[in-house]
Amino acid sequence: QVQLVQSGAEVKKPGASLKVSCKASGYTFSNYGLIWVRQAPGQGLEWMGWISAYSHDTNYAQKFKDRVTITTDTSTTSAYLEMRSLKSDDSAVYYCARDSIHGGNPFPDYWGQGTLVTVSS
């Protein structure tokens, strides 16, 4: 069965960097893309970016273009989210999700359990 397992909760100081991992299993990793979405406490979902596990092409929301890097490692079937210069309003739960496509319509069908990131001095 498809599973995405994320790394554990993190506490960071403002200005620090973060790296969250997402280990995929149960499907052919390179056949799908992966996305990262975050959710601040009590807030909605925010799409951060996408990566093709096949070509490593990426697409980022403009808001995150300068601070975020999404990568994949095919040998370990893992995806990574790196974020630099953390601020307090980056405190959120970060999710990875597998990106499927049907009839040209992309949709995230399997999600990781989420990683809670707290940014505080």
Where along the sequence are the contacts to other proteins (CB under 8 A)? Answer: 35, 37, 44-47, 50, 59, 61-63, 95, 97, 102-103, 105-109, 111-114
Nearer to other proteins, 73 or 107 (CB): 107
Nearer to other proteins, 63 or 87 (CB): 63
**Least Å from the CB of residue 15 to other proteins:** 25
Contacting residues for 77 by C-beta, under 8 A, at least 6 apart = 23, 24, 25, 29
Nearer to other proteins, 27 or 47 (CB): 47
For residue 27, give the DSSP letter: S
Q: Tell me whether strands 10-12 and 115-119 are parallel, antiparallel or unpaired.
A: parallel
